Structure 1
Amino acid sequence: MLSVSVKSFDELSLRELYDILRLRSEVFVVEQDCVYQDIDGRDSGALHLIGKKGDEVVAYTRIFRPGMYFEEASIGRVVVKGNYRQYGYGHDIIKASITAIANHFSEKRIRISAQEYLVRFYEKHGFEQEGEGYLEDGIPHIAMIRVPQAKHDF
């Protein structure tokens, strides 16, 4: 089972920060062959969801209160270590992120910038496409929004 903790930037240990940045670099820069500025100056304003299997960081997201990244609350830097994707940890970390936004920010509207190949994944969590696709750091993305509806778990 994935153990998920929520921490502010100042609550992260040096080891946790190192492991998070290593995972993000491993997937977003190396695996996806995308050269971009991952350390974007926004981590200090985010809450960080750290998914661990034992002592290993295998999943991660960062969440923002409304107005910090988008007008709505948002989830970003969604990542699961390659050899752990088969266990559904992506679903676990997204569910935990949605719950954390509700608990920490009292918000239910969530906007994300999703990589297009993950649209169906996010639709399973109540997100709907909005607008046209666009390139972000050379990768096709689409805006998606999750709005409160009876069919969602809030």
Structure 2
Amino acid sequence: MEWNTYHFDELTARKLYEFLKLRVDVFVVEQNCPYPELDDLDQESIHIAYSENGKTLAYARLVPAGVKYEIPSIGRVIVRAEARSRGLAKQLMVQAMEYILNEWQANEIQLQGQVYLQEFYESFGFLPISEAYDEDGIPHVDMKFTNNKM
């Protein structure tokens, strides 16, 4: 398995289009949730992805500290529908967390997760830091991971 990370300026137009299309296909179309997908955070973020045969199967966006939250965050966590149940979401989270902890030397990570995925994120050590709330018609919860090994 080969995971790749990209700074925004390293993305080709084709790769950026592929990432954005996947995000819209799942978060807007599949989840029937019209919301502003383009939020001006992509330019400052690291984009992590796993592809097979030229097709992105898993993707997440890593936002540095001070851009969205005071601490780094993981967002837009996604696995293409036909690639689900292969463990890619777990591998994606491991890759994303390792990048933030090692490359950015952060000891905390925040995310805004859909409530139905709360247990999934808790399995990586994330704990809720908010009550459930509505975000664009979908229940969400803010969660934070603290690395106690530092």
TM-score class, shorter: over 0.9
Deviation at 1:62, TM superposition (A): 0.6
Q: Which residue of 2 aligns with 1:135?
A: 134
Residue of structure 1 in register with 2:104 after alignment = 105
2:81 maps to which residue? 82
Name the Cα RMSD after superposition.
1.2
Cα distance in 1, alignment partners of residues 140 and 72 from structure 2: 18
Q: CA deviation at 1:22?
A: 0.8
User: Counterparts of 2:107 and 2:64 in 1: how far apart (Å)?
Assistant: 11
Aligned to 1:33: 32
Alignment size in residue pairs: 150
**Rounded Cα–Cα distance in structure 2 between residues aligned with 1:69 and 1:103:** 20
**Structure 1 position 127, deviation (Å):** 0.6
3-state SS in 2 of match to 1:61? strand
1:68 lines up with 2:82 in the alignment? no
- After the TM superposition, which parts of structure 1 deviate over 2 Å for at least 4 consecutive aligned residues? none
**Alpha-carbon shift at residue 108 of structure 1 (Å):** 2.1
Unmatched segments (≥5 aa) in structure 2: none
Structure 2 Cα separation of the partners of residues 69 and 131 of structure 1: 16
| SS in structure 2 at match of 1:27 | helix
Distance 1:107 1:76 in 2: 16
One-letter amino acid matched to 1:139: I
Query: Percent of aligned pairs with the same residue?
Result: 37
Residue deviations 1:29-62 (CA, integer Å, cap 9, x gap): 1100000110111100101001112311011111
Partner of 1:48: 47
- Alignment partner, residue 124 of structure 2: 125
1:65-122: CA deviations, max 9, x gaps? 2111111110011111011111010111111000111232110200100000000110
Q: Which amino acid aligns with 2:29?
A: V
Q: Secondary structure at the match of 1:23?
A: helix
Say yes or no: does 1:17 pair with 2:16: yes
